Amino acid sequence: MANITRRQFTAGAAAAGAASFSITNAEAQNFGGNELIEAARKEGKFVYYTADFTEPEQEVIKAFNKRFPFVRVELVRAPGGQLITRIKTEAAAGKLSADAVNHSDRGLMQGIADLFQDYTPPNAKDYRDDVLVSPKLWPRSTLGWSIAYNTELEKNPPKSWMDLCKPEYGPKKIGQVIAPSGGTTWTRIMFERQVLGEDYWEKQAKTQPVLFPSGAPTSDAMVRGEISIAVVLYNIAYIKKRDGAPVEAIFPPEGVPLNYYAAGVAKTAANPNAAKLFLNWCMSDEGQAFQIKELGYLTALKKPPLNPPGWDPKVIKTWAPNFEQYVKLRDQWIEEWNKVYGYRQ
């Protein structure tokens, strides 16, 4: 057999790529229409800033690329605070390289909403109005809090938020993420005080939980057995369980605090069509279903395409913060939380 040249190989690979891309007109409408898809194909790539973790983002990108193999996603992941600084500084210098941004803190994103262009996903009307902070920013990711535990170590796991105050789950058995770690944790501690009671923090702190800077090391410590119970976002525990770790996670009956991300397309985007196509896919029923099924996310769609295991919409009460209070109470309450939990800020 004759050896193929590099050019022949490239041409063959491109043909194979094109062949693997097939989409009906009706489907195309779900993602913004053929015109947008063609424009995105021409751009071929876009730069995506996110505050979500690298691993689940990589899986989302992979699934998107199964649908649209011709758009390369260049990922920049940074924790919330750093990401905002990067965006603000780049934008001020006229060098914002992000085409699309996905951020965990809606409050901070609202403050820089003028950096984003008008963008509405095709299924905008299917989303809950009460979680939108700007018509330009959309809840691509929705995360819910849960109680997770190591099944090898915890034979009598807690079943509710109130159980976490019982002395049998202490000392140093429960892992907690510190309140000032970001918008997601702030949402949770707000829920604890407003729903579970003014004295919930004090009761819970008495079990002497181990404090972690963020959710990821908390769940890792739980899998390794450093702690046996972890208050973490459901998706972090879900991925570990999916991959076979000795982990189980429950949605407590008193309520599940939810954190909605804010995602948008930058005004200065060099590849706005590719960015929009990506966000359209993420926001579509297909994209949301993928995130729920494979990654343990929740959704801000009025009618969820499906529910994560253990999620019964008739039983589970979701809780979202009043946005005004979310901004106003933050500093004072976090300071009080730090005092109660003996966390030095």
Partner 1 sequence: MTAETAALVAPREAGRRISFGWLWSGALLVLLTFLVIYPVAMLVLGALTNTNPVVDGFGIYDLSLKNFITVLGNPNVHFALANSLIACGGGTLLAVIIGLTFSWVVVRTNTPCKRFIAAVSMIPLFVPPLVAAVAWSILASPKTGLLNTMIKWVGIDFRFDVYTMGGLIAIFGIYYAPYVYMFTASALRNMDPALEEAAEISGATPVRILFTVTFPLIAPAIISGMLLSFIVMLGIYGIPAVLGAPGDIPVLTTYIFKLTNWSPPLYSTAASVAIILMIVTGFLVFLQQKVVSGRSYITVAGKAFRPGVMNLGPWRYLTLSLAVIYLIVVVVLPTLALIVAAFRKFLFIRSVESLFDLKQYSLIHFERLFDNPLAVRSIWNTMEVGLITAVFGGILAFAIGYTVHRTNAAGRRSIDVISTLPVAIPGLVIGVAYLWAWIGLPGGLYGTIWILALAFIARFMPDTIKALSTSLLQIHKELEEASWICGKGLLGTIRTIVLPLARPGVIAAMTLLFILAIRELGSSLFLYTSNTMVMAVLLLDYYEGGNVGITSAFSLVQTLLLAVLIGIAHFLSRGGADTSVGRAG
DSSP E strands, 80-214: 100-103, 142-150, 174-177, 210-212
From 3, 6, 24, 95, residue interacting with partner 1 (rule: CB under 8 A): 95
From 69, 180, 197, 304, residue interacting with partner 1 (rule: CB under 8 A): 180
Residue 78 or 316 having the CB closest to partner 1:
78
Using the contact rule CB under 8 A, the part of the chain among 119-127, 160-168, 189-197, 223-231 near partner 1 is 223-231
From 215, 257, 296, 321, residue interacting with partner 1 (rule: CB under 8 A): 215
Closest separation between CB of residue 265 and partner 1, Å? Answer: 16
Residue 225 or 309 having the CB closest to partner 1:
225
Closest separation between CB of residue 276 and partner 1, Å? Answer: 18
Tell me how far apart the alpha carbons of residues 274 and 44 are, in angstroms, rounded to a whole number.
7
Residue 90 or 126 having the CB closest to partner 1:
90
What phi, psi does 111 have (nearest 5°)? -65, -25
Rule CB under 8 A: say whether 325 interacts with partner 1.
no
- Enumerate residues 151-170 that contact partner 1 by CB under 8 A: 152
From 37, 101, 108, 133, residue interacting with partner 1 (rule: CB under 8 A): 108
Residue 192 or 220 having the CB closest to partner 1:
220
Name the token pair of 71.
Answer: 């758009």
From 214, 268, 307, 318, residue interacting with partner 1 (rule: CB under 8 A): 214
Tell me how far apart the alpha carbons of residues 270 and 341 are, in angstroms, rounded to a whole number.
46
Tell me how far apart the alpha carbons of residues 147 and 248 are, in angstroms, rounded to a whole number.
8
Closest separation between CB of residue 251 and partner 1, Å? Answer: 20
From 43, 105, 154, 192, residue interacting with partner 1 (rule: CB under 8 A): 105
Angle between helices 234-242 and 54-67 (to 10 degrees): 70
From 41, 88, 203, 267, residue interacting with partner 1 (rule: CB under 8 A): 88
Which residue, among 33, 140, 154, 46, has the nearest Cα to 98 in the 3D structure?
46
Residues ≥6 apart with Cβ < 8 Å to 119 = 136, 138, 264, 265, 276, 279
Which residue, among 5, 9, 343, has the nearest Cα to 176 in the 3D structure?
343
34 to 10, 25, 31, 71, 277: CA distances (angstroms):
26, 7, 9, 15, 10
Q: What DSSP designation does 199 have?
A: T
Contact residues toward partner 1 (CB under 8 A) are 47-48, 53-55, 58, 62, 74-82, 84-86, 88-93, 95, 97, 104-105, 107-108, 150, 152, 180-183, 210-221, 223-226, 236, 240, 243-246, 344-345
